[in-house]
Structure 1
C-alpha cells in the first residue's frame, strides 16, 4: 500500500540513542500546538493525500509523561474525482518524553481518535488508534518547533493511514527547576619553587632527562618532549600524531605511502596502484556503476501486454549485452502517454514491463535475479502529450543496464 513508506519512516523521528544534556520537561507546563500536516490514506479508502490543519494542547504531568488533546481537519479528494470528503478527527493521547539532547526534546505518542467522514451523500464514523513520535526543537524558554509522525489504524475498518506534521508550540506555566547553589572554591596555595628549571618545561633540573627541550613544547614527567603515538617522533615535530604503533613512518612522523595514492601503506590493500589513479579508501582503483539505457521498439497492440514475436530481436539486444557483461543488472521501465485513466495506464505499463522481462529471462536465458520491471505509466513523459508525435515518444519501454567500470 502507498502508506507503507511513511509507516516505515516513523523511526527516523525517534532517535535511538540520546545523551541527556539538558533538564527534563517541567511538571505542570502547558503547550499550545498549532500545526499543519500531510495525511495519506489506505488504498481501500479511495482517498487522495490531503493537507491537514491541526490545533492541540499538551499538559506535562511529570518530567516523563504528558497528556494531549488534538483536533484535526482536512478535505481529501475522492480517487475517482467525484468530489471530496470533510474529515474531522478528535484525538486524546499520552506522550512519553525521551532524554533530551541539546535543544532537541524527542517523545513517543499514542492515543485514541474519533473520526467523522462527511461524504456528499453519506456520513461515516470510526475509532482510530494513533501511534508514533516526534521531537520538539527549543528556540527559547517558551517557543519551540514541533515535528511529528503518526501511523493511524482504524479499529473499525482495519485500514492504515499516516500523518506527518510540523508546527510551532508556545509553552507557559510549570515549576521552575531548583538552581544549584554556587560555592566559592577554596583558595589554592601554590608553594614557591625551590629548584631550578633551566629549560622552563616545568620539570626541575634534578629530574629532567632532556634539559634542553625547546620552550613551549609539552613534556612528560621526565622532561622529554611528548611522543603520544610512540613512533619515535616528538609531538611538536610529528605531522601525523595519531599514527598507530608499529606502522612504518617517514621523518615527519607520517605513515609511508609508497605508491603516492593518499592511502598509507598500512591501510592500502592495493599498494601498487598506478600513479594518478583515482582510488577508494582502501587504496584500490575506484570502481563505479555506469548505467546504459537501451530504448526498445516493442510495438504492443492497443491495451495489450503481449510482446509480439517481431519485437524479440529488440529484447535480444539487451540479452546479448548482459551476456557480454555477466555482472550487469537491468531495470525494464514501462511508460505510457497521458490518454486514459492514470491508474490504468500505470498498471498497463507495469504489465508490459513484466512481459518484456519475462521474454528476456525465459526466451534468452538471463537470470531473473538480474532483472527487475517497473511501470511508471504517464509519470515520466519525455515529449509533449498534446501532439501525436509526442504521445508516441512517451509510449516506450526502456532497459536501464548497470555495470561496473573502473574510474
Structure 2
C-alpha cells in the first residue's frame, strides 16, 4: 500500500484547480502550509530518541468543510541504539473535516488517511518502509482570510508492523481562495402589477419587515428570531407573487474581507430558515452580504455594534381594501 505513485497526479489536480476564483476557506480554495512534527516512535523500533519532522502540505477544499491534503516531511535528530543518525521521509494523503463555518476565525477539524514512510540509519543501505493509517484532530485559527496557524496531533498505526506512534504538530499556512466572493448583484424585486380594478375598489400597500440580530462573530440564527422569520414566511405564502432580498451586515470589528464573508454567512443562514424550515420557494428569496459598509448605529459603542450585527429583509404586497 504505497502512496508515492499518486503524488504527481494529486499535485497536478490541486494546482489546476487553484486558479478558480472562489471564497477564501470555502469550496475550491487551496491551502499551503509549512509544519513541524515531533514523532513519538514505538519502542519496537529501538530508537534512542524521538524524531523531529519538518515538511509542507497542500490542500484542496472539496466542499466548505472537507479538505483533501497531501503532505511531505523529513525525519531529523532521531538516533538508533548504536548512536547512528536515523534519516527518512514520509508522504501522507489525508482528508480533513472542519467544524464551524467557512469564514469563521476558529475552525476545529478531524482527519483520517494514509502515509508511507521510508526510514533507515545513515551509512547503511537497508531501509525500512512502512505504511500507516492515520487519524487525528486539531484546530486552525485564521488571523486573516489568507493566513492561519494550526495545532494538532495524529495517531499513526503501522499496518506493516502492528504498532502505533503519535505525532503532535504545529504549522503556519496560507489560503489561496481568490479572495472573498464579491457581494452578489441582485436585481431589484419588481413592483407588483395590480390588476385593473374599478375606481370604487382602491388598492392598499401592506408590508412586513424582518430584523434578525446576531452574536459577535457568529452566523447562527438564535432561537428567539425564529418567530419573526416565520411571520415573514407566512406573509410570502399568503402573497405568492412577492420576492425578497435577505441582507446581511456586521459591526466594524475585524477586517473588511472577513466581515464581508461573515455578512454573507448570516444572510444565507436566514435564507436557509425561510426556505428549508418554513417552505418558501427558493427562487423567491435571494441573499446578499454588505459587510460593515452599512451601519445603522455607532460602531464605537458595544450597544451600537450589537445593533449593526443584523440581517434585514422586507416584503410588500398590494391588496384590495
- TM-score interval, normalised by the smaller of the two chains: 0.3 to 0.5
By relative contact order (CA 8 Å, sep 6+), the higher-ranking structure is: 2
Give the TM-score of the pair, scaled to structure 1.
0.37
Give the TM-score of the pair, scaled to structure 2.
0.46
Higher fraction of helix: 2
Structure with larger Rg: 1
Higher fraction of strand: 2
